[in-house]
Structure 1
Amino acid sequence: MTPVTLHTTRLVLRPWLDSDRQPFAALNADPEVMRYFPAPLLREESDAMADRIVLLMERQGWGFWAVERTQDKSFMGFVGLHQPEDLPFSPCTEVGWRLARPYWGCGYATEAARASLSFAFGQLGLSSVVAFTAVSNTRSQGVMRRLGMTLESPFDHPRLPDDHPLRPHVLYRITHDRFAR
């Protein structure tokens, strides 16, 4: 299936290019970007993640899009939709993002996530979309609130050990009707 491309005022959410792998590996190796994940990724791990993202996009036509800034065509990271498995609230579709630090604090994550939600509720016809993060990740929770998402419940991430400091997570949700308002 041909992957969809989305456009916003300042961004293009597009299929991945081979040239995205190096900057993607750099952002995945940045300890500050990966602060709310178990660990920064090695290049091989980052490339494997990119392979999984590309495969899903080729299968379904959507997923975690590569985000490119329109003004200079720079790769910023990814934003988009995913269907996580084995979580207490699965099945579901999540909206998620990971941007390189130079692009933080400019509203890019919110802008791109809003375009992803529009696609989810429009073309995919979903009734709700979730987002989740570690309890301590207040920046991402701020994006979730700016998107109109509401805090639903805390949960322990099942893929992290019981004593891991990032195990406590929060779940946010937005419905089609709330997004339409």
Structure 2
Amino acid sequence: MTDIHTPRLLLRRWLDDDVVPLSEIHADPDVMRWIGDGTPRSLDETAQDIEDWEEEWDDEGFGVFAVELLGSGELAGAVGLHRADSPAAVADRVTVGWRLGRQFWGQGYASEAAQATLEFALQDRGLDRVLAACRTGDTASANVLRKLGMRPTGTDQDPDGGHDVRVYEIDLTEYEA
């Protein structure tokens, strides 16, 4: 089992008890606004997400972590790596992404978790490049990507929602732990 500890967070694999709290995060339209087509997700869809993420761990040796607060054990959301299907600029490439419950926004948790995930990808898993696709207008996520040292490399359109995205990337030679 792969666990990563940061000063305030535990990044870990998913447990059955995580489905309900993550589905509550997924049910918030503000959280889901920038994810996929922006539609909130049901309990069943959330359970399927977790199942898919766990399969990716088994198939790829990386995946999406549950983000747990060290102090309280509360599930704050998800962060991790995913082999993207779309848009074309990132298709079949490893991307980093996250989603946190609204009550956890503005506290640096996304940056802390994403930094640990990026380090895991480039140093532990030996990936030479990680990308991200950030919807145009999602300034909070764009700020996190810049903090990670990721640079914009172009734009594309997400075929699922028709949204414009900016593509970011970082490679091992650019990464500073």
- Does TM, scored on the shorter chain, surpass 0.5? yes
Q: Which residue of the partner structure matches residue 51 of structure 2?
A: 51
Q: In the alignment, what sits opposite 2:12?
A: 14
Residue 167 of structure 2 is aligned to residue 171 of structure 1: yes
Deviation (angstroms), 1:124:
1.6
Q: Which runs of 5+ in 1 are unaligned?
A: 162-166
Q: Distance in 1 between matches of 2:142 and 2:84?
A: 18
Cα deviation, residue 154, structure 1: 1.1
What's the counterpart of residue 77 of structure 1?
77
Report the equivalent of 1:144: 145
Instruction: Give secondary structure in 1 for the equivalent of 2:107.
Output: coil
Q: Percentage identity across aligned positions?
A: 35
Following superposition, the deviation at residue 170 of structure 1 comes to: 0.8
For 2:30 and 2:87, the matched residues in 1 are separated by 25
The question of whether the paired residues in 1 share the 8 Å contact of 2:87 and 2:157 is answered with no
Report the Cα offset of residue 50 of structure 1. Answer: 1.4
The answer on whether the counterparts of 2:129 and 2:171 sit within 8 Å (CA) in structure 1 is yes
Following TM superposition, by how much is the alpha carbon of 1:180 offset from its aligned partner in structure 2, in angstroms? Answer: 2.7
* Residue identity in the other structure for 1:22: V
Aligned to 1:4: 2
* Equivalent residue number for residue 33 of structure 2: 35
Q: TM-score, normalised by structure 1?
A: 0.90
How many positions carry a matched residue from both structures? 174
Q: Quote the RMSD (CA, aligned, Å).
A: 1.4
Partner of residue 100, structure 1: 101
> Residue 81 of structure 1 aligns to a residue in which SS?
strand
SS in 2 for 1:116: helix
Matched residue, 1:164:
none
Distance between the aligned counterparts of 1:174 and 1:60, measured in 2?
A: 20
Q: Which runs of 5+ in 2 are unaligned?
A: none
Amino acid at match of 1:157: D
